[in-house]
Structure 1
Amino acid sequence: MNASRIFYIDALKAIAIVLVVMGHTNVIWEVGGSNSVYLPILSVFHMPLFMALSGYVTNVETFNLAKRAKMLIPFFVFGFAWTAFVQLPIGGFFTSEAKYGYWYLYVLFAFFVFLSLIRAMKRNLYIGMGLVQIGLMGLHFMFHRTITGTTISTDHMFQLWPFFCLGIILRRGLLNKIYSHKIKVLTICSLGVVGIWGGANIL
């Protein structure tokens, strides 16, 4: 992959940004005083897309963790600024699951730390990804809805790590395989959508 920008990745990022804004603008989803049934669907979709795109543009072999740490600067600067502006307790910024809305930068940096550990231990990438997911699930079930869990943001981590890994796997060749078997992949995805839709209607 060359260093030039990839149009469809930028386009997907733009779509994901729009979806995030829409998902946080509840007024457009209100129908008769209650939220539309489409809001939960949108909420499930936009952040996994962001994480998958973040994984896709990550080169596991060459990324520099020290450079990635720069994303913690806006996390703290804007996070503290917002905390002061709305007069929220500073402790809540650290102990809340969502970090007052800035969790994404923190969680994404944590994912880069996990990748660095996998690389440092010279583990097979895919085995390492699986071990990290098992560890995150363990943390989630042990500390779900506790101060420890929300401080670590275990909910976001264990739910989104697979999508981040999916982006990396797509970059490493899965996307080319999908392109070469378009009909099979489209058929499987269509059957999956029909199955989920049918199951939802039955329930």
Structure 2
Amino acid sequence: MLDHMPSGRKSAGSRSAGTNNRDLVFDFAKGVLIILVIIGHLLQSVIYRDTDNFWMSPYFKSIYMFHMPLFMAISGYLSSGAILRKSFTRGVSDRAMQLLLPMLVWCALIWISKSAVVSQTGGLAGGMLDFSKEFIGTYWFMWAAFASFLLIKLLTTFNHLSMWIIGASAIAVAFLPLTSSIMPLVRYTYPFFCFGFLFAQSTAWLTSIILRPKTLLMALLSMATFLCFLAWGKETYAYNNLVLVHDGQSAKQVLLMFAGSAAASAVAMQFMFQCWRAGCSARVARFVAVELGQSTLLLYLVQGAVFRLMDLIQFGQLWGLTTRIAVASVLGVAIVVIAMTIRRMVRDLGYVSRVVGAPPRPSLLKPQSVIS
């Protein structure tokens, strides 16, 4: 994603040569989050393959409580510049080219690969239906990010100070009774995009809350996160409750989901900020920030294709836990290697790099821009 960083104070050690005003602390956070995305899918697709036990895995819960909500909040924060500075037409068209075009290309690759292995039924109509399912369902987070950008851009087109309207829209969208396709996931993540966008409007918040952590506040948020983790169940996930309130029990699960995700996201973000401040000069931290954090779009596209194509392979039914962990580890490393290889191959090819979702070289980035 090409997002414009709002001007503000940079944390120590956050800048890198050749990246102008790019703040690597956010790249580091995104790098950690995309690793968690891959691990979460490995847990589901390899470690707990063909079972529903992953829903209650403490590792799966720990990741899914915050990784996508926090990803969306960071996206909203980094998108604020593009939302406020660009015209409606320019902003939306740029975001569509940045997100929807690469998604279309990778979904076409997935569909072609599946068609080569599995005979299509239903002729052209059946093939187009299968492709539409891939295009809509494979990369739901990109649709959520695009829809969130579009809606907030629309709300700010006529009044840049409509912060209360944006806050109200977060509540309204979250509780809309729309449950078809990926709508529950869009409704679940949109409030976090709004929070990130609103947070970017006040650098005083950033200084007082993040760069100067409040011990008592973080202690309370950590306690809330722990309590929500204990209460979290299968029906607390947006995939299962569909963010739909129809009785007291469903209301409890939906509110638990939002409260737990918000608290866990705040704690995780603070933890990653402190890790970056303590180890920003370490080689591993720089790799996570510069290589992974600046390639999250490409990594997300690659891992989505890999896990989608894994549905065609029957494996692991008789494997022990050790074998599954070994296979998951190799597959996770392979996803990163494939993405980094693609990045290096196309990063100097201009339009081709944008089509496949790979960032160009840092020297080609405009000041205050971030590719995620």
Q: 2:96 aligns with which of 69, 84, 96?
A: 69
Aligned residue pair count: 191
- Structure 1 regions of 5+ residues with no counterpart? none
Could you say if the C-alpha distance between residues 129 and 91 of structure 1 is closer, same or farther in structure 2, counting changes exceeding 3 Å?
Answer: farther
Distance in 1, matches of 2:165 and 2:28, equals 30
Superposition misfits of 4+ residues, deviation over 3 angstroms: 27-30, 87-90, 92-96, 198-203
1:91 shift after superposition: 2.4
Residues 183-202 of structure 1: matches in 2 within 5 Å? Answer: 183=214, 186-198=215-227, 201=230
Could you say if the C-alpha distance between residues 107 and 119 of structure 1 is closer, same or farther in structure 2, counting changes exceeding 3 Å?
Answer: same
Which has the larger helix fraction? 1
Give the aligned partner of residue 185 of structure 2: 156
State which drifts further: 173-182 or 109-118.
Answer: 173-182
Give the aligned partner of residue 81 of structure 1: 109
Could you say if the C-alpha distance between residues 201 and 24 of structure 1 is closer, same or farther in structure 2, counting changes exceeding 3 Å?
Answer: closer
**SS of equivalent to 2:66:** helix
Residues 92-131 of structure 1: matches in 2 within 5 Å? Answer: 92=130, 94=132, 99-122=136-159, 124-131=161-168
Could you say if the C-alpha distance between residues 154 and 191 of structure 1 is closer, same or farther in structure 2, counting changes exceeding 3 Å?
Answer: same
> If the length of structure 1 is used for normalisation, what is the TM-score?
0.78
Q: Give percent identity, aligned residues only.
A: 23
1:46 maps to 2:63: no
1:24 shift after superposition: 0.5
Q: Contact 1:52 / 1:165 at 8 angstroms: preserved in 2? A: yes
Could you say if the C-alpha distance between residues 111 and 196 of structure 1 is closer, same or farther in structure 2, counting changes exceeding 3 Å?
Answer: closer
Could you say if the C-alpha distance between residues 154 and 76 of structure 1 is closer, same or farther in structure 2, counting changes exceeding 3 Å?
Answer: same
Larger C-alpha radius of gyration, 1 or 2?
2
Q: Contact 2:174 / 2:191 at 8 angstroms: preserved in 1? A: no
Q: Contact 2:103 / 2:139 at 8 angstroms: preserved in 1? A: yes
1:54 shift after superposition: 0.9
Q: Contact 2:73 / 2:195 at 8 angstroms: preserved in 1? A: yes
> If the length of structure 2 is used for normalisation, what is the TM-score?
0.45
Greater RCO, CA 8 A, separation 6+: 2
Letter in 1 for 2:40: G
CA offsets per residue over residues 165-200 of structure 1, 9 Å max, x none?
Answer: 2222232222123157633xx312312322443465
Letter in 1 for 2:213: K
1:13 maps to 2:36: no
- Structure 2 regions of 5+ residues with no counterpart? 1-6, 9-19, 121-126, 233-372
RMSD in angstroms over aligned alpha carbons? 3.0
**SS of equivalent to 1:25:** helix
